Amino acid sequence: MQHIPQANLNDFLSEDPDRKAAFVQHVGASFKEIGFLALKGHFLEEKLQEDLYREIKTFFALPTKTKEAYEIQGGGGQRGYTGFGKEHAEGRTTGDLKEFWHFGQDLDAQPKLKGIYPNNIHVKELQNFNKVGNEVYKKLEKTAEVLLQAIALYLELDAFYFDSYIREGNSILRAIHYPPITKAPNEAERAAAHGDINLITLLMGSQGGGLQVLNRNQEWIDAIAGPDELMINIGDMLSRLTNNHLPSTIHRVVNPPPEEWGNARYSLPFFMHPIPQMPLNCLPQMIDAAHPKKYEDIDAGTFLHQRLVALGLLK
C-alpha cells in the first residue's frame, strides 16, 4: 500500500446498515494492511483545533525557565511539561528533537479518579490553556470510543467490548513542539521510528510534512492528512490484544531539508489508553495453529510502565 486510506465516521454513525458494515470492513482492512487511516466526520470542530493551536504556540514560546517550572520530577512525563530532547525512541539513546505537554483526564470534573491518575498541571500564565485542552481531550476521546466500536465489530467482538475499559481510561493528549533546527543534528530526528504504546492514536496537526509510515513492504511513505481529517493509527496494546492481527505500524517524523530548518512544527496526538486493569492478553479467537500466541499475558498498567522506562521517561 502506497498511500494512507481514508474513511468517514458518518458512515458508521448512519442508520444504513450497509454503509455501517462497509465502514467496519474498510477500517479493519486498512488497519490490518497498513495500520493507519485518515478519518473525516470526527467530533473535533475546526475552531476548537485552532484555539488549541493558538494556546500551545503561546505556551511553547514562554521562556524555558517558565516552562521547566511545569516539569514534574519522577512523573514519567505523564502530565505537564517535558523538556527538549528528554524522550527517545525505544532502543535508542539519542533524544528526539522535541518538547511536549501532556493533558490527562480532568480530575476536577471526575473527582473519583483522584489518586488513580496524576492531576493535570494548570498553566497560570495562560487563562484558557487548560480549558481548551480539556475540551479537545473530550472530543477526541469520544471519537476514539466510536472508532473502537467499529474495530470491535471487525474483530467479531461485541460492539461495546472496549467501552468499559476506555471510559475513564488513562488517555493522554500530547501537544508537541519541534523547534527550528539551529545546527546539523547528530543522528537525532524530530521523532525517531517507533510504535505507539496505546490502543489507538488520533493525530490532529499532521497537515504539514514530516510524518512517515513504514508500510508492510518496509517502505517509508508520507502520511499527510487533509485539513478536516484526523490521522489514526494502531498502537502496541491493540496489537497485543489481537495477537498482531492488527499490527502496530512503525512511524517517524523526519527532519526537514536544511532550507526549512528555520520552521517550527507542532503536532497534537491523542493516545487512547484503557484503564490500567485492562488485560492485554491475546484474544483466544486470534490464536490458532497458523497464528500461535505471540505475547505474554500482561495488563495495560504494567505494560505502560515498562514502555515508559524503555523511552527514558522513568528510571
**What percentage of the chain has pLDDT greater than the value 90?**
68
The pLDDT value recorded for residue 208 is 58
The pLDDT value recorded for residue 175 is 95
pTM metric for this prediction: 0.92
Q: For the packed helices 46-60 and 129-154, what is the interaxial angle rounded to 10 degrees?
A: 130
Q: 205 falls in which pLDDT band (50, 70, 90)?
A: low
Cell of residue 160, nine digits: 461495546
Q: For the packed helices 17-33 and 129-154, what is the interaxial angle rounded to 10 degrees?
A: 100
The pLDDT value recorded for residue 222 is 87
**What percentage of the chain has pLDDT greater than the value 70?**
96
Mean pLDDT computed over every residue of the chain: 91
Least confident of 79-88, 195-204, 233-242: 79-88
Q: Say yes or no to pLDDT of 299 above 60.
A: yes
The pLDDT value recorded for residue 26 is 97
The pLDDT value recorded for residue 216 is 86
Domains of the chain, CATH where assigned: 6-310 (2.60.120.330)
Question: Among 142, 138, 137, which residue's Cα sits nearest to residue 39?
Answer: 142
- The per-residue pLDDT for range 139-158, each reduced to its tens digit, is 999 999 999 999 999 999 99
